[in-house]
Amino acid sequence: MTPIQSRVEEFQPEEKFDGVLSRAFASMTDMVEWCHHLPKNESGVFLALKGQLQESEVEQLPEWCCVTDVKSLKVPELEGERHLVILSRKG
């Protein structure tokens, strides 16, 4: 693994990623817009770790992107809701 210091929207990797994970990054819309060039086009996914999942945030996603799954998470010693939201390009 090689660390890179770069703004995510400026980073241009030689090889695309299977998944792009964010935790406490921004809204899901900002995440997919700023990182849209990082996952593999056909099979790459976005993985967003969220607390409460707001339906309004899902509704604001760009038209090319959709939620494919939501996993409820149990985090030891943490109160409140936690979710893993899996997003991908519409097929």
The 3 state secondary structure assigned to 35-63 is: HCCCECCCCCEEEEEECCCCHHHHHCCCC
Q: Do β-strands 65-72 and 83-89 pair in parallel, antiparallel, or remain unpaired?
A: antiparallel
- Backbone φ, ψ for residue 31 (5° rounding): -55, -55
Higher pLDDT, 66 or 53: 66
Q: What is the pLDDT of residues 5-57, one digit of tens each?
A: 888 889 999 999 999 998 877 899 999 999 999 999 878 999 999 998 889 99
**pTM of structure:** 0.87
